[in-house]
């Protein structure tokens, strides 16, 4: 009987030892899982911050392969008129891109004057608001030498310092 009792006690102790190592393993697994979940949350948060930064400035990379031809600051709250001289040295272009920063603006009219004296008026009014800060203008014909580009525009908010940049490609 004493042997049976000793055997049962030994078996119980062995089971308890096995249970405690299993519980310790489970705790280790839980902590590892928790660390992995925290790392995933950190990565998700970093991706969200990067996405928000891209969306906050939607025109960051829109002009990467364009040549900058000039820029002007919109001075008045009423309709303003400015001109950017381009010239032959800048090359020939088939497209122009306008980028607006610093606030909202309405572009009333654009006049493109080519070196041969021809004029081109894109026939549309453009609004540059929070998520539409750039716009392309396709020029007629093949690649053309531009003499100057003239703008007529209006700021939406008197306090904004709005800048219009002109790019060609």
pLDDT digits (tens, 9 = 90+) for 145-156: 999 999 998 888
Q: How far apart are CA 66 and CA 72, in angstroms?
A: 17
91 versus 26: which is more confidently predicted?
Answer: 26
pLDDT (mean) for 22-41: 87
Q: Is the dihedral of CA 156, 158, 160, 164 positive or negative?
A: positive
pLDDT of residue 54: 52
Poorest-pLDDT segment among 3-12, 67-76, 156-165 = 3-12
Predicted confidence band of residue 17 (pLDDT cuts 50, 70, 90)? low
pLDDT of residue 59: 46
Position of tokens 């400035």? 57
Work out the mean pLDDT of the chain and round it to a whole number: 80
Q: Please check whether residue 99 is in contact with residue 107, taking contact to mean a CB–CB distance below 8 angstroms.
A: no
pLDDT (mean) for 83-105: 87
Taking the CA atoms of residue 141, residue 142, residue 147 and residue 149 in that order, the dihedral angle to the nearest 10 degrees is 60
**CA distances to 57, 61, 127, 148, 157 from 105, in Å:** 16, 20, 6, 21, 8
pLDDT digits (tens, 9 = 90+) for 40-85: 888 887 777 666 655 555 445 567 789 999 999 887 667 789 999 9
pLDDT of residue 89: 73
């Amino acid at each position: 009987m004493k042997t049976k009792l000793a055997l049962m006690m030994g078996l119980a102790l062995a089971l308890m030892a096995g249970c405690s190592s299993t519980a310790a393993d489970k705790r280790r697994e839980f902590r590892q899982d928790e660390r992995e979940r925290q790392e995933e949350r950190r990565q998700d948060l970093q991706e969200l911050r990067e996405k928000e930064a891209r969306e906050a400035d939607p025109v960051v990379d829109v002009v990467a392969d364009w040549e900058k031809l000039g820029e002007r600051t919109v001075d008045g709250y009423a309709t303003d008129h400015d001109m950017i001289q381009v010239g032959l040295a800048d090359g020939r272009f088939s497209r122009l891109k306008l980028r607006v920063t610093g606030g909202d603006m309405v572009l009333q009219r654009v006049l493109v004057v080519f070196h041969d004296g021809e004029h081109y008026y894109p026939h549309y009014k453009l609004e540059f608001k929070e998520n539409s800060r750039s716009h392309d203008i396709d020029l007629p014909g093949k690649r053309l030498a531009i003499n100057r580009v003239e703008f007529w525009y209006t700021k939406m908010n008197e306090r904004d310092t709005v800048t219009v940049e002109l790019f060609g490609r």
